[in-house]
Amino acid sequence: MSVNQKPGLFTIFTSHSFYVRIVTAFVGLLLLTVLPIVSYNYYQTRGIVLESADELMDQISLNVMEKTANFLLPASTVVEISARLAKTGVLSCADHQQLVFYTAGVLKSYPQMCMLFFGDEHGNYLRSWRLPDGNIETRIIERQTSPPRDVIKYCDPYCSVLRTETSNDIKYDPRDRPWYLGAKKTGGTFWTDLYILFRNKKPAVTAAYPLKDDQGKLLGVWGTDIELDEMSNFLKGLKIGKDGLAFIVNEKNEVVAFPEASRIVKEEQGKLRPVKVEELGQDGISAAFEEYLKTGRNKLVVESEGQRYLASIREFPQSFGARWKVAVLASEDDFVGPAKEIIQVTVLICLFILLVSILMAVLLARAIANPIKLLTEETKKIKDFHFEDGFAIKTRIKEIQQMSNAVAAMRTGLQAFRRYVPAELVRQLIQSGEGATLGGHKKELTVFFSDITGFTTIAEQSEPEELMLHLSEYFDELTRILSEHHGTVDKYIGDGIMAFWGAPLPDDDHASRACRAALLCQARIKALNQKWAAAGKPVFPTRIGISTGETVVGNVGSSERINYTVMGDNVNLASRLEGVTRLYDSQILVSQATYDQVADEFWFRPVDLIAVKGKTAATTVYELVGKKEDGGEGEPLAELCREFTRGVEAYLSRDWAGAAAIFGSLRKKFPLDVPVELYFNRCKKYLKQPPGPDWRGVTYLKYK
């Protein structure tokens, strides 16, 4: 597979190491065995627990309804029986003494009723109620017409008058009260809305029943008040999970009874009222009722603040007489928690077994896979042409030992072969995915040529063996710098080096890397020449030519032997630039295209406008002087490049006097600079004998 291709799913799966496969197989087998069992047990247990929770909540709802009905039923029964007794004459509503005895006796028999009363169509009213100390007191309001006045009597349970008040304006009239009007309207048992008793701030309701004669005429209404705090106490005693609760609400979503009775009464502007469900301040309750009102479902699972709740909201049966609902709410963890704990213990046991199994699998896999892993690392080193740290692999597995011996022999052979093939080039070709097929393609590259000045003379004066060793040291130093800057060394041409940047691997910074490498090469050669001169060895002054442009790159050769190289005009131009350096006594010359790409990074000066042999088109040649980061605008290097450029511009504009002045100034500061001297002499020549009008300042080279 080419390295440029993306591996498929099958390739990724099959590329795992043998070691990983063994461990993965063990772990996967255990997970495939354990996870389904643990998951099945958890969900089965969870389902059973939640089903039991539903049954428990249903039972609690029914229990609350039954308790509420039993708590309130005596009240509706008492008022209905009282009306029937009065209708049949057994109980006389005109006999106050009889009514006092009757109402007091009823209140003693039914402690949930705090008040029993009767009002008639004339506005007369008798009320018995239980005092905070447990005693019972009766209040009688008589409406008298002659003279018109109201008499209020307060009696004890034995009808002894405790005190009497007379008033002409008693505001209380039973005929205007909701309980009276409701019973009158319905003609049967009537339950009032929930209200708060001002005297003790307790929620209460009133049951009322009308008294009619045989002709159906309304004579009066019997009623009784029931304080509901006992229901709240009952709800408080219910055990629903850890923190679950049950409560009762009416059709207005007002809370009738709640485990915390103090929370269901609210005072606003001096008046007391029941709180609504959403005012309880519990997000779980609010979320459950919101979902209930939205969906109408009476069994819900809601989530609030990261907590899941089970909720049951059921309406009282129609026979109850009031549209109340009982709600039960509990955290899901209250029921599922024990199941989770069991699962956690099971998981811990499974994890322990898994860890032990993994340890055994690791030991087994290591015994098998380690030799293969070491052998793989060795082959990877060989693939990357790294032969330095090879070692023999010892194993008891015969086949792996034979493979190890074969790899060791291959390493030895390739180690000798790499001397003839650039190892870095092979690595890059492998990374780029280019196969060993003939052919090439065009690509923008930067090409580098170097040559040792006067090498022929040096060779004639040196011993061949010593010269080869000396030249090898030179090549080794320069090749290392070129490789470190991502250059591809193509070949050694006698005493010269040909290299290029931008292939096989793409490199958008190829021109800059080539220039940096060239400067470092010259700096290294300078140091080496000093060392060699001190040792009595010949020095190697070096010229470098660099050109950037479209270049053909690829494999060229025969079916038996190929060479990865570059060719084209850009390569020829780089070679010509290396040769042209002799004319200007320059160390590094670059083409216009190279200059255009890296002018902001390096100091350059335009050396000449030339046309190489065989070409009519002229191009500006620049001398690479140094890196801009090595000196500021005020440094001599910067001044030389800046002033020299001004001089060349004046020269090409035929301003030879101005150019001569600039170059004359530069001669004083840089007396040994050959290009300065060259242009100064040209300017003097043209001042004496100007060229023709077709002169463009181009230097035509007559040799390659």
| Residue-by-residue DSSP string for 104-169 | HHHHHH-TTEEEEEEEETTS-EEEEEE-TTS-EEEEEEEEEETTEEEEEEEE-TT--EEEEEEES-
Residue carrying the six token digits 């199994």: 357
DSSP state of 701: P
Classify residue 368 by burial, with Cβ atoms within 10 Å: 0-12, 13-18, 19+: middle
List the structure tokens of 448.
């580098």
Host H or E run for residue 40: helix 18-88
DSSP 46-89: HHHHHHHHHHHHHHHHHHHHHHHHHHHHHHHHHHHHHHHHHHHT
Q: What gap in Å lies between CA 662 and CA 702, rounded to an integer? A: 29
Q: Does a cis peptide bond (omega within 30 degrees of 0) precede residue 504?
A: yes
DSSP strand E in 168-298: where? 190-191, 195-197, 202-212, 218-227, 245-249, 255-257, 265-268, 271-274
Q: What gap in Å lies between CA 76 and CA 226, rounded to an integer? A: 10
List the structure tokens of 452.
């040792």
pLDDT value at residue 13 = 40
Q: What gap in Å lies between CA 88 and CA 212, rounded to an integer? A: 10
Helices and strands (H and E) in the chain: how many: 17, 25
pLDDT value at residue 7 = 45
SS3 assignment, position 657: helix
Classify residue 610 by burial, with Cβ atoms within 10 Å: 0-12, 13-18, 19+: buried
SS3 assignment, position 432: helix
All domains of the chain, ordered by start, with CATH? 51-334 (3.30.450.20), 442-598 (3.30.70.1230), 626-704 (no CATH)
SS3 assignment, position 197: strand
In sequence order, which residues have a C-beta less than 8 Å from that of residue 315 and are 6 or more positions away? 323, 324, 325
Residue carrying the six token digits 């000045």: 453
> Interhelix angle for 96-109 vs 18-88, to 10°?
160
CB atoms within 10 A of CB 411: 16
Q: What gap in Å lies between CA 554 and CA 487, rounded to an integer? A: 16
List the structure tokens of 293.
């009102």
> Interhelix angle for 510-534 vs 464-484, to 10°?
150
Q: What gap in Å lies between CA 368 and CA 19, rounded to an integer? A: 8
What sign for the dihedral angle of Cα 431, 436, 441, 443?
A: positive
List the structure tokens of 533.
């001169």
pLDDT value at residue 239 = 81
pLDDT value at residue 278 = 84
CB atoms within 10 A of CB 329: 25
Q: What gap in Å lies between CA 189 and CA 321, rounded to an integer? A: 8
| DSSP β-ladder status, 496-501 and 148-155 | unpaired
Q: Which residues of the chain have pLDDT under 50?
A: 1-15
pLDDT value at residue 306 = 78
Q: What gap in Å lies between CA 580 and CA 553, rounded to an integer? A: 25
pLDDT value at residue 184 = 92
Q: What gap in Å lies between CA 202 and CA 438, rounded to an integer? A: 101
List the structure tokens of 187.
């003609």
The model scores a pTM over 0.95: no
Q: What gap in Å lies between CA 400 and CA 408, rounded to an integer? A: 12
Q: Which of 47, 62, 50, 49 is nearest to 328 (CA)?
A: 62
Residue pair 594/556 in contact (Cβ under 8 Å)? The answer is no
DSSP state of 276: B
Residue pair 246/231 in contact (Cβ under 8 Å)? The answer is no
- Beta bridge partners, 549, equal 445
CB atoms within 10 A of CB 582: 11
Q: What gap in Å lies between CA 508 and CA 444, rounded to an integer? A: 9
Residue pair 284/304 in contact (Cβ under 8 Å)? The answer is yes
Q: What gap in Å lies between CA 685 and CA 660, rounded to an integer? A: 10
DSSP strand E in 404-502: where? 439-452, 488-493, 496-501
Q: Which of 668, 679, 692 is nearest to 646 (CA)?
A: 679
One-letter identity of residue 5: Q
Residue pair 485/509 in contact (Cβ under 8 Å)? The answer is no
In sequence order, which residues have a C-beta less than 8 Å from that of residue 404 and are 6 or more positions away? 371, 375, 378, 392, 393, 395
Q: How far is CA 13 from the centre of its chain?
A: 27
Residue pair 212/80 in contact (Cβ under 8 Å)? The answer is no
| Residue 51: C-alpha distances to residues 48, 54, 56 (Å) | 5, 5, 9
**296 in the Ramachandran plot: left (φ > 0), alpha (ψ -120 to 50) or beta?**
left
One-letter identity of residue 362: V
> Interhelix angle for 18-88 vs 229-236, to 10°?
150
Host H or E run for residue 655: none
- Beta bridge partners, 149, equal 144
Residue pair 289/314 in contact (Cβ under 8 Å)? The answer is no
SS3 assignment, position 663: helix
